[in-house]
Structure 1
């Protein structure tokens, strides 16, 4: 799966978890850019991504992400 395919999948998960079909993610997107992306929904997003992609993240990986691009890099490495 390439980075664009991962981005599309992650965007779908964001739209589902945040119940907002208007969300458009870019590699530079951060939590500050998405309404309702707070600490609680961050956990829900991670769980959703882990289930959908059948992967697990470490706490260290999650804490290191500064934007969607870094999240995608981590997904791609798995």
Structure 2
């Protein structure tokens, strides 16, 4: 059973990192496109981008914390 917990923790952290990286990459690309179209909105877009990047990273960090919690307090240890 300990192997399944380690596998689950790896999947939680790995898929969370993959999702966060893809999300931030897509968002960054769209912000660059939008600021190229309307340079006068660049300050507002940059502020919103950093706010959203923090929220995306927060979801990944929470997932990592849950995975580490499962890894250290495994109820299946005998």
TM-score normalised by structure 1 residue count: 0.31
Quick check: which has more Rg, 1 or 2? Answer: 2
- Greater RCO, CA 8 A, separation 6+: 2
